[in-house]
Amino acid sequence: MSKDKSSNMKHPRTTSSAERNHLALKPIGIIRSVLKERSKAPKQGSEGAPDVWIAVRPGFTQALDGLAAGDEIIVLTWLHRAHRDVLKVHPRSDPKRLLTGVFATRSPDRPNPIGLHEVTVRKVGKNRLRIGPIEAIDGTPVIDIKPILCKPRRAETVDSTDRR
């Protein structure tokens, strides 16, 4: 997190009003994929998922500046078909496996159905980004994009850019 002493001065507000007013997500783009149905999507991107385009909404394209083909990134999506009232699941939808709290699983059914996808940037367009592989279906809202800091193969790059 950046140190920004001006934050509170420029935007004075209480935590409670900040929470009330600002917990609404703005989709910054949308997934355009050949996968059209949740029932046909693999459970993880590494399980045979395709590359897709993220169509980035006008007004957010400047925020792509600095991304390049080959970058490994995290894409956060809003899994709009998920069930938000589910607190326990059988992992991998396998009834033989014990019911487990959703916070100990990657189930899309959870109170805030945020999908976390580690993908590679294939191509950067003016208002779209080719990425993959990713199991999110066509029409899935994208809510954030971040560089990966955790993988060993990225460690050198990350250190040399001082963990941007």
34 binds its own copies (CB under 8 A): no
Evaluate whether 158 touches 73 at the Cβ level (below 8 Å).
no
Minimum separation from the CB atom of position 89 to its own copies (A): 7
CA distances from 32 to 1, 29, 40, 69, 109 (A): 31, 10, 15, 18, 22
Cβ proximity to its own copies, 34 vs 63, nearer residue = 63
69 binds its own copies (CB under 8 A): no
- Interface of this chain with its own copies, residues 3 to 22, rule: CB under 8 A: 3-5, 7-8, 10-11, 15, 18-19, 22
- The Cβ of residue 7 has, within 10 Å, a number of other Cβ atoms equal to 10
Among 31, 33, 53, 107, binds its own copies (CB under 8 A): 107
What does the block give as tokens for 24? 């609404």
Window 110-129: contact mask with its own copies (x via CB under 8 A): xxxxxxx-x-----------
- C-alpha angle with apex 78: 60 to 154, nearest 5 degrees? 70
Minimum separation from the CB atom of position 70 to its own copies (A): 13
